[in-house]
Structure 1
Amino acid sequence: MRHRLILNEITHTFEDGGMQRTVLDRLSLQVAEGELVAVMGPSGSGKSTFLSIAGALLKPTSGEVLLDGESMAGKEKQALSDMRLHKLGFIFQNANLIPYLKVEEQLMLVAKLGDMSRAKANDRIGELLHKLGLDHRRHAYPEKLSGGERQRVAIARALMNDPAVLLADEPTASLDAGRGMDVVGMIAREAKERGKSAIMVTHDERVLSLCDRVLYLEHGSLIEKY
């Protein structure tokens, strides 16, 4: 089985009031293609640090992250930025859409940054908006969208460059139960249909039935309870 994201013996420490604090302690995880893994844990347990390291936004104190078999260790800032653009899709708690860009323009910006041809970008935009039920919102500004629609646009933006790995940080926090299930269902289907690895940090127990595994971050390590 192919694992598109692998974290090996990840440790991360930082200084807190003159003391060294260990947030992640030799944490290891392999996420297979087609798999959606939920990560839960109390506030302050290191979930944000974990996701930042998995997404090449933060360098661990020690250990190695491999993305599609390629190590992130020792890479220059620009190389990591390129990996994030082409290999990683981020979905955040808040959609964080650019207020002055229409839905289509939000996605086209990502395509341009990824050097995608305009013809291919138009095809991809049409495909994603249709799949996410947003055809009729193609030319709408974010202020005209509902909360669920904005989150679906954020998912489309994360998928625009067909990343190998999806990382979602509390994607249902601002949604009601029905919309939350819809959003996580979309993430799960995208992982399975297109062979992606997906990790979702969440407090929302309502959506756990849609996940392949549920892990808890405790004392710097991941523990599987389901």
Structure 2
Amino acid sequence: MSPEVEDNIILGLVQLTWKGIQIEFGENLHHLRSIDISCNNLSGDIPESVTSLLKLISLNLSRNSFTGVLPNKFGQLEMLESLDLSRNQISGSIPPSFSSLHYLSVLDLSYNNLSGRIPLSTQLQSFNASQFSGNLGLCGQPLTPECPGDAPTEGPAVPNGSGSDKTKQDDDGLISFGFYVSLVLGFIIGFWSVCGTLVLKTSWRYAYFRFFDDIKARIM
């Protein structure tokens, strides 16, 4: 493909072989399905007009010297399945409109000067981190877990009082266990202290029963 570019208006005749069929595009360039001008010495900004090629399925501008920022309206290319902009000098952030590229199956933005957060979308986060590597200022999934300055992820909110209630329940459980242990030990020690003495010492046994007989007699 060898169109002339002047003031972002594509001129001339384009001959393209698509699926074995040779097609000529003149004024109807908006019907283009594929553009591959990789490995050239092209420079300057990526023309905004490329985002008007709404039928575009594949775009490869890799290994050139493109500078500037990515066009904000890239999301208009909703049919795009393959996008390779790697190994250029593109700067700025990835436009939020990239989240609208739902059919992307091939993506390579590596080795540019991109920065900022990678937009969240089902497609972008499904690619390998290598497709975003070489952009020192770029952050976010799948490249990094989070971006600098992000607040730490907080756990689910705990209803008021539920934490203290749980602690209280745990404390009650420990107290109840200790209480029952103490109760059992106290019963055993008390029982054998009294009953064991009465069994072993005859004089104490007689005195014990005499004491209750005296009480009984006074009541009667």
Which TM-score band (shorter chain)?
under 0.3
TM-score for the superposition, normalised by structure 1: 0.27
Higher strand share: 1
TM-score for the superposition, normalised by structure 2: 0.28
